[in-house]
Copies of this chain bind each other. A is one copy, B any other.
């Protein structure tokens, strides 16, 4: 039994799930899904029309957070949600922060305007949206920098699901060259640790002809 993962390379939600599956050493096959084309078979798998979708012979799963919790319940080693209820709370709070607020304020704007619009043929990028995305990045990265000055990992003293959520978004933003790493020393140090995990390798070696070329440090573990 192998999982099939319907994904799109620059979706942070797909990247998070790929990282988590690899971290837990779960085998899966990648299938690219151009979700904006609204293929009928895909809409039937997930009426929300979003990637990722994870399938095996018995189940069809959509919505990345619900999938990650399901994977954690079935494959608890290594543990990515802490046992302590308050640490678990902070992990989930940060996942929501990242997957909703960071995505809305930053990733959807920068990756959306600069790459997805072109790929999806939705017209030229809007400078105002990119400016908003850049301003959002300053706010969010200042917050991460504040947190990582006080704790080793995004949600506390342990590596958790929140680290994979954050690393997934940041890897998309780094791919399009939107991060000036000199401004964020704690975040840079944490991201270097995340990038050096074996689970990260397939993401870093992935280059897509249609995308702008990533900056030279994108796959450099000691950037």
Contact = CB atoms under 8 A, between A and B. Distances in A.
A96 interface: yes
Interface SS majority for chain A: helix
A108 to B, nearest CB: 12
A77 B62 CA distance: 28
A101 B95 CA distance: 17
Contacts of A93: 61-63, 66
B143 A47 contact: yes
For this chain, the copies found in one complex come to 2
Interface stretch (A82-90, A164-172, A177-185, A198-206): A82-90
Given A66-B96, A96-B66, A48 B101 contact: yes
Interface of A: 47-48, 59, 61-63, 65-67, 69-70, 73-74, 85-86, 88-90, 92-93, 95-97, 100-101, 143
26 contacts: A47-B143, A48-B97, A48-B101, A61-B89, A62-B93, A63-B97, A65-B92, A65-B96, A66-B89, A66-B92, A66-B93, A66-B95, A66-B96, A67-B89, A69-B88, A69-B89, A69-B92, A70-B85, A70-B86, A70-B88, A70-B89, A70-B92, A73-B85, A73-B88, A74-B85, A100-B100
